[in-house]
Amino acid sequence: MTITGEMLIGARSHRGSDGEFRAVDPATGAELEPAFGGGGSAEVERACALAWAAFDAFRETGLEARAAFLETIAANILDLGDELIVRAMAESGLPRPRLEGERGRTVGQLRLFAQTVREGGWLEARIDPAQPERQPLPRPDVRQRHIPLGPVAVFGASNFPLAFSVAGGDTASALAAGCPVVVKGHSAHPGTSELVGRAIRAAVASCGLPEGVFSLLFGVGNPIGTALVTDPRIKAVGFTGSRGGGLALMEAAARRPEPIPVYAEMSSINPVFLMPAALAARAEALGKGFVASLTMGAGQFCTNPGILLGIDGPDLDRFVAAAVDALGGSAASTMLTPAIQAAYDSGVARLSGSAAVATLARGLACSGPNQAQAALFGTTADAFLAGPALQDEVFGAASLLIRCPDAAAMRTVAERLEGQLTATVQMEPADGDAVAALLPTLERKAGRILANGWPTGVEVCHAMVHGGPFPATSDSRTTSVGTLAIRRFLRPVCYQDIPAALLPEALRDGNPLGLWRRIDGVPGQE
Ligand SMILES: NC(=O)C1=CN([C@@H]2O[C@H](COP(=O)(O)OP(=O)(O)OC[C@H]3O[C@@H](n4cnc5c(N)ncnc54)[C@H](O)[C@@H]3O)[C@@H](O)[C@H]2O)C=CC1
Ligand SMILES: O=C(O)CCC(=O)C(=O)O
């Protein structure tokens, strides 16, 4: 398929005229063809008008039709074949196996949402039948289902050109909910975005859906994103990126005459607690495992283990020796964009320039453009508690080890941490009591708590939470990965004494959709 550099606005391909940009191959620094035309307010206006026009029809598509639409997108993405992988490699510097895995995750995610849509539990149908004889007052007939919020603006993430981008989790969950989607593609991978956008657009057409169900916009700079978030027809936002970007979009959304929810996944340093018995039993293996997780994908994961906590002593020294050894031999790797590489270097310089921080190890030297050397730093619990800036995210393969004098200090540091996507404990059975004492803090701080694993690599499933308190996300009540993500784009509507013929199918007597529903609070398939 030819990459044209055009935006996809409903069924039309359109070349933007608000500036021009090209993708850059970070591995060589070379610009890639073709040039992309940036859009502006006229394109936002057109995409949002189409999305709004599509909304009422799309939100009432049958469950089977909507599920088939998601499955068609998945099939169309696979049909793009190797061209998609080759372009994504060139635009991101990420290796083939990683991108092939990411494509599998993207397609699997769409199929999982298709199953979820078919099953219909997300409608959360409830019926409290009328009780005309009730004393002292009769009870009306009260029924509830969930409906989609409206068109959703999705910002593609730079670090997952497939799974968190044009057809990623935000798009899949919004479409599953019945929301048209307008994507603002990330300018780091516009060709990948266009290919995937065309796969979605073809699915819209072949499934007979209104053209406004999907549009893809590009832009130079921030104005297009702000215009999208402030368009009155957009009713929610999905975002993965920087803390500054997420905060700016939250502010823009809150300033609207009608404020809307922004689901932003922003910044997390994912603490790992090295418990004493675990260190005693397997310090060397933990050191190696940690470095593998830290350096995967040049550390460009929001789940990257950016902070380690351990109790000072010889077992922690063994861990450090193994980690220093593994990290010292790790090759420098290409980062996604020159700007992300520069941000990493300045984060590393900030830590290495801090009097309270020691540089424990650096990876092998860089040998090409936009590469980064992994880094491990060390500090003490007291210094960490005294310097709040030490917990600012350094996006990339850098981590800070905090030496704590005892378990109480470890808990104090944990209490001081900001909100996180994940918290990991490395433990043996003998650490049980200490971990039990830590758990209430971890539950308050993080969206996902893991034992004896590493936080990178999120499972896409029903029970997953990829979320957490601020600044990990802007709304800790939900998740951006897994089927619960659909809830972000739904709201309940109650139908009181509405005539049977006017009720939505989900709430009709006889349960024509065969849903699990709560009748008078009791779940069943009546
Ligand atoms: N925690 C995480 O998951 C991630 C964090 N990052 C962080 O973000 C930094 C920059 O990377 P990017 O991926 O480019 O993220 P970014 O936040 O700069 O950009 C993401 C998207 O939001 C838009 N955007 C950003 N600020 C905006 C504003 N003020 N108004 C309107 N639109 C805005 C951009 O145009 C882009 O489409 C990285 O160095 C890293 O620190 C990046 C990717 C993932
Ligand atoms: O670790 C993962 O699989 C997901 C990471 C993620 O959500 C991100 O880096 O934005």
pLDDT for residue 309: 98
Average pLDDT over residues 209-219: 98
Q: What is the mean pLDDT of the chain?
A: 97
Confidence of residue 29 (pLDDT cuts 50, 70, 90): very high
* pLDDT higher than 90, residue 490: yes
Mean pLDDT on 344-352: 97
- Nearest Cα residue to atom 43 of ligand 1: 241
> Would you say residue 1 has pLDDT above 90?
no
Cα–Cα distance, 14 to 4 (Å, whole number): 10
Tokens 């479409």, residue? 175
165 half-sphere exposure, CB direction, 13 A CA radius: 28
Provide mean pLDDT across the span 270-286.
98
In the chain, what percentage of residues exceed pLDDT 90?
A: 99
Of all protein residues, the one whose alpha carbon is nearest to atom 37 of ligand 1 is 186
CA–CA distance from 311 to each of 156, 191, 273, 275 (Å)? 40, 48, 9, 8
What are the phi and psi torsion angles at 238 (to 5°)? Answer: -115, 130
- For atom 4 of ligand 1, the residue with the nearest CA is 241
304 Cβ closer than 6 Å to some ligand 2 atom: no
Mean pLDDT of the region 484-498:
98
pLDDT of residue 526 exceeding 90, the answer is: no
385-408 per-residue burial string, b: 16 or more CB within 10 A, e: under 16: eeeeebbebbbbbbbbbbbbeebe
Q: CA–CA distance from 45 to each of 50, 106, 154 (Å)?
A: 9, 29, 16
* Its pTM surpasses 0.90: yes
DSSP string, 84-121: HHHHHHHHH---HHHHHHHHHHHHHHHHHHHHHHHH-G
Catalytic status, residue 302: yes
Report which residue type is found at 196: V
Q: What is the pLDDT of residue 209?
A: 98
155 Cβ inside 6 Å of ligand 2: no
pLDDT at position 266: 96
* Catalytic-role residue among 48, 179, 302, 404: 302
Output the CA 184–ligand 1 centroid distance in Å.
12
Res 399 pLDDT > 90: yes
* Residue 449: strand, helix, or coil: strand
**Å from CA of 242 to ligand 1 middle:** 4
pLDDT band at 52 (very low <50, low <70, confident <90, very high): very high
User: Which among 465, 466, 479 is the best mutation to test ligand 2's pocket, defined by most ligand atoms within 8 Å of the CB?
Assistant: 466
ipTM above 0.85, yes or no: yes
Mean pLDDT across 199-207: 98
